[in-house]
């Protein structure tokens, strides 16, 4: 019985971060420019606090100017918009990230659309979404998680996916839809599946590439997977497990990794798969934003 290759997102992210660090040092040496990343976090969501700390630590390790704005959970929409406007007009800031989820009284769309498209390193602004959907990504920002997934797929199958069929499970604006656009640009044949898809296992079983982004622990089983498929697991779910008479919390993905690995050619684990690549792609987007803002173009 074959065992799938473990796609090591941690290793890939470390290699990408090293490249970004070298290019950041060269940007400072040759042009006196330091990429600036501002993260806005509103409220005390524990998971968000962890994510923001990881982003800040990675940004500083890459040599970026890293700024964090922590606002109270009851901050008004006008107060947050005023901060975004100030960051849009700050020449030392090249990337702005609004940490999600937001407190319920704040309008996510209003805030993400308030970020200047050229500083929208999350790729959530409608202008960046439109450029991605139309294939005009030269100066666009692609959402970090799909961009990281795409690098993992390309490492397995190459940059031209002609002849491959891909199923994206999930249709969110953050992962599912942009993931489909990226796969389509690479010439794959795409199906976007979701909770209302009839015979979901049967649909997935036809795919050479599976991207699971539904947020349901261990949902995708081995019998859903075509032998030899490449499987990318975007899910991060916290479940309770019992070991040696003790109950503890454990992170798991949307795929049943142990069983899927007996069928797939390659698969990403959780943790250690897509997560580290998401943060690395945020750094790549911020460096890119700094170069574009300075009229330097891209390497």
> Are the beta carbons of 172 and 162 closer than 8 angstroms?
no
> Are the beta carbons of 180 and 192 closer than 8 angstroms?
yes
Euclidean distance between CA atoms 181 and 254, whole angstroms: 21
**Choice among 55, 131, 177, 226 that is catalytic:** 55
Euclidean distance between CA atoms 95 and 66, whole angstroms: 10
**Choice among 11, 56, 90, 122 that is catalytic:** 122
Residues 6+ apart with CB under 8 A from 143: 122, 123, 124, 174, 175, 178
Residue among 229, 227, 233 at smallest CA distance from 256: 233
Burial of 244 (0-12, 13-18, 19+ CB in 10 A): exposed
Active site residue 122: yes
SS3 225: coil
Active site residue 49: no
- Residue 65's φ and ψ, nearest 5 degrees, are -85, 110
- Angle, CA 170 vertex, CA 167 and CA 176 arms, to 5°: 80
Euclidean distance between CA atoms 121 and 138, whole angstroms: 14
**Choice among 56, 74, 90, 99 that is catalytic:** 99
Active site residue 99: yes
Q: How many CB atoms lie within 10 A of CB 68?
A: 16
Question: What positions carry a catalytic annotation?
Answer: 55, 99, 122
């Amino acid at each position: 019985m074959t065992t799938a290759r473990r796609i090591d997102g941690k290793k890939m992210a470390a290699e990408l971060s090293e490249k970004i660090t070298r290019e950041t040092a060269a940007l400072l040496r040759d042009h006196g420019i330091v990429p600036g990343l501002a993260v806005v976090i509103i409220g005390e969501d524990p998971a968000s606090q962890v994510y923001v700390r990881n982003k800040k630590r990675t940004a500083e390790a890459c040599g970026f100017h890293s700024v964090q704005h922590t606002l109270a959970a009851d901050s008004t929409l006008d107060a947050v918009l005023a901060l975004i406007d100030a960051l849009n007009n700050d020449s030392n800031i090249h990337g702005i990230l609004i940490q999600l989820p937001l407190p319920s009284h704040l309008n996510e769309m209003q805030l993400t659309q308030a970020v200047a498209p050229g500083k929208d390193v999350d790729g959530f602004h409608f202008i960046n979404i439109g450029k991605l959907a139309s294939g005009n990504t030269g100066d666009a920002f692609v959402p970090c998680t799909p961009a990281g997934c795409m690098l993992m797929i390309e490492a397995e199958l190459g940059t031209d996916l002609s002849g491959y069929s891909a199923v994206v499970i999930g249709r969110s604006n953050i992962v599912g839809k942009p993931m489909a656009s990226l796969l389509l640009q690479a010439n794959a044949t795409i199906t976007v599946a979701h909770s209302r898809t009839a015979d979901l296992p049967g649909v997935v079983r036809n795919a050479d590439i599976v991207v699971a982004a539904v947020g349901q622990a261990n949902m995708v089983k081995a019998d859903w997977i075509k032998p030899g498929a490449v499987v990318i697991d975007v899910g991060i779910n916290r479940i309770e497990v019992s070991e040696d008479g003790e109950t503890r919390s454990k992170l798991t993905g949307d795929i049943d990794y142990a069983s899927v690995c007996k069928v797939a050619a390659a698969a990403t684990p959780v943790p250690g798969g897509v997560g580290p690549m998401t943060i690395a792609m945020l750094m790549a987007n911020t460096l890119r934003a700094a170069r574009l803002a300075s009229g330097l173009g891209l390497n």
